[in-house]
A and B are shown apart, each in its own frame.
Chain A
Amino acid sequence: MTITPPLSRSQQTAEEILEPTPMTKLRRRIFKNHSFLIGALILLVIIAIAVLAPLIAPHDPYDQDLARRLMNPFWHDKKTDSLFVFGTDKVGRDYLSRLIYGAQISLLIGFLTVLISGIIGTALGVIAGYFGGRVDMVVNFIINTRLAMPVFLVAMAAVVAFGASIHVVIMVLGLFLWDRFAVVMRSITMQARDLDYVTAARAIGCSTPYIIIREIFPNVLSSLTVVATVEMANAILLEAALSFLGFGVQAPTPSWGLMLNEGREYMFFSPWLLALPGTGLFLLVLAINLFGDGLRDVTLERER
């Protein structure tokens, strides 16, 4: 080894030495990004509430007592009870406990739907984007077929066929919300496929599955998480809508959408029956969207 390296260690420029590591940079960007922080905070609180529901819920959400039906929440003067902070619903169940357990349902449906649709959509999109040509045409046809089918009609048909339950809702939404994953993953993979590092990996002798999973996938992961948050918010709203119409989660399960439906007839006399689950949905979806937006800003900057 007679070659002298043109850049010896003593010749490092000051700039190079002071260059912060990617982790430090990432941390700095996170703390500068307020929407990410606010979204993450609200989301964490809701997740904590959902996970700890059995511990923090003051009553059994299914416990009915017609003698204490439609109690007012604490900010009213009359007909309140310090044991039922947010009052009770039309069959006397504690509204706070039902709200707490409702967070569980919403998050469960959001996560599982995104998991199922994410796997389907990412697999289809990455394969179409990487191989292109005929494969791409076939996948595009499948995507178009899916887009031609209205989620609501299919969900209603599925409920008629299989009966309404949380499993049916998750399956229908999971099998239906993958289109955005597929479209986004397809275009990103297409861009990544033509970059030199993929060609280099092929020249090194990497197999095609290795290239897709180990070389391309880590670089599309940040876009994937952004799509996942958008779709999760979407799935939660769709579940609420389906449950509101009676095609989703069935009574007496405490779903926020179902609670909106049940409170509908008392809208003028007990508006909080609608306002409380509505606020819950609003906060959750807002938090997820803020979080997803912030996540995009925080992570996408890292790549070039």
Chain B
Amino acid sequence: MADTMIYGYDLVKEYPISRGMFKRKELLRAVGGVTLQVNKGEVLGLVGESGCGKTTLARLILGMIPPTAGSVEIAGQNINKLARLERAKTIQPIFQDPYSSLNPSKTIGSILTLPLRIQRDRESHSWEKRVRQTMDLVGLAQRMYNQYPNQLSGGQRQRVAIARALITRPAVVVCDEPTSALDVSVQSQILNLLKELREELNLTYVLISHNLAVVQHMATRVAVMYFGHVVEEEKTNILFEEPKHEYTKKLLGSILVPDPNKRIFNKKE
């Protein structure tokens, strides 16, 4: 189980920000030197406040943006040197907002067939069967095959997004806040589905969330990000029990417990 699936080495991403037409561009360092390693079958939880570089790091891992410095290897291959279709077969994203991640003018069936069509999958006669199998796998009713995204609920849409990511059987799935746009009751369904699918298909996840409960529930390891750096990385149970870094302690202290008798975690008595 110790095969390295994702290896990111000293990743840096800088964005130039214009301060005006004739002024020099300033550089914003979104990710400043992150090294991370995720083994096959692991779930790496990425936590941190808004704007700390979680999403940028996810996009770097996905190969959607080139890093300013450093490199990402997925299963031993540099993601930025992979051909478009190869990359798509290796790693897939699941987005936060299922309302904008599905093309409103296409049916669920054609959304799910698209990855196969783009991959120029030879067995075109089996496309529909495979789409329908994947729909079963993620718990979508077969009648939705011909429906449009706006006829589906948020949870159902997120299932479609998951099915789209999984239909080409990628090894790694990057979930960027997969549940934060959903109702609480649906959140747990989606999380359990992701958990089941991981075991079923032997997937490796990178799970981004600012909901620490979600991360605790899902992740095997957690990396805490702060201002573009990973300040602490540890096994989930260890990190939640004895956080070392000051920021991690603060972050864990910010969890609100739905129990009036319990004091907030870590608060001085």
Contact = CB atoms under 8 A, between A and B. Distances in A.
Given A199-B95, A205-B118, A215 B103 contact: yes
Contact of A197 (B85, B100, B200): B100
Most B CB contacts (10 A, CB to CB) among A1, A6, A12, A218 go to A6
A222 to B, nearest CB: 9
A303 B102 CA distance: 12
A6 B141 CA distance: 10
A197 B104 CA distance: 9
Contact of A205 (B99, B119, B142, B193): B119
B101 A197 contact: yes
A302 B103 CA distance: 13
Given A12-B141, A196-B97, A303-B150, 4 more contacts: A3-B196, A9-B143, A204-B114, A302-B104
Nearest to B91: A203
B142 A206 contact: no
B224 interface: no
B193 A6 contact: yes
Contact of A304 (B92, B104, B161, B192): B104
A160 interface: no
B67 to A, nearest CB: 17
A12 B106 CA distance: 22
28 contacts: A1-B133, A1-B200, A3-B193, A3-B200, A5-B137, A6-B139, A6-B189, A6-B193, A7-B156, A8-B141, A22-B148, A197-B102, A199-B101, A200-B93, A200-B95, A200-B161, A200-B164, A201-B103, A203-B92, A204-B118, A205-B84, A205-B119, A207-B84, A218-B106, A302-B150, A303-B104, A303-B150, A304-B150
Contacts of B196: 3
A145 interface: no
B171 interface: no
B93 A5 contact: no
Given A197-B102, A207-B84, A215-B103, A3 B137 contact: yes
Interface in A18-76: 19, 22
Contacts of A206: 114, 118
B189 A5 contact: no
Contacts of B222: none
A195 interface: yes
Interface in A186-205: 195-197, 199-205
Interface residues of B, number: 47
A285 B75 CA distance: 63
Contacts of B62: 203
Most B CB contacts (10 A, CB to CB) among A9, A205, A302 go to A205
Given A200-B93, A200-B95, A195 B100 contact: yes
A3 B164 contact: no
A219 B103 contact: yes
A194 to B, nearest CB: 9
A2 interface: yes
Contacts of B193: 3, 6
Most A CB contacts (10 A, CB to CB) among B95, B97, B137 go to B95
A5 B200 CA distance: 13
Nearest to A303: B104
A30 B141 CA distance: 30
A202 B143 CA distance: 27
Contacts of B93: 199-200, 203
Contacts of A195: 100-101
B84 A219 contact: no
Contacts of A203: 62, 64, 88, 91-93
A205 B143 CA distance: 27
B87 interface: yes
Contacts of B118: 204-206, 210
A205 B79 CA distance: 13
B140 interface: yes
B182 interface: no
Given A196-B95, A204-B118, A205-B87, A1 B101 contact: no
A120 B155 CA distance: 41
A168 B100 CA distance: 45
Interface string B80-117: 00001101110111011101111111100000001100
A204 to B, nearest CB: 5
B151 interface: yes
Question: Lowest 7 CB-CB distances: which A-B pairs, in order?
Answer: A205-B88, A5-B139, A196-B101, A218-B105, A196-B95, A195-B100, A205-B85
Contacts of B26: none
Contacts of A6: 139, 189, 192-193
Contact of A5 (B106, B140, B143): B140
A204 B118 CA distance: 8
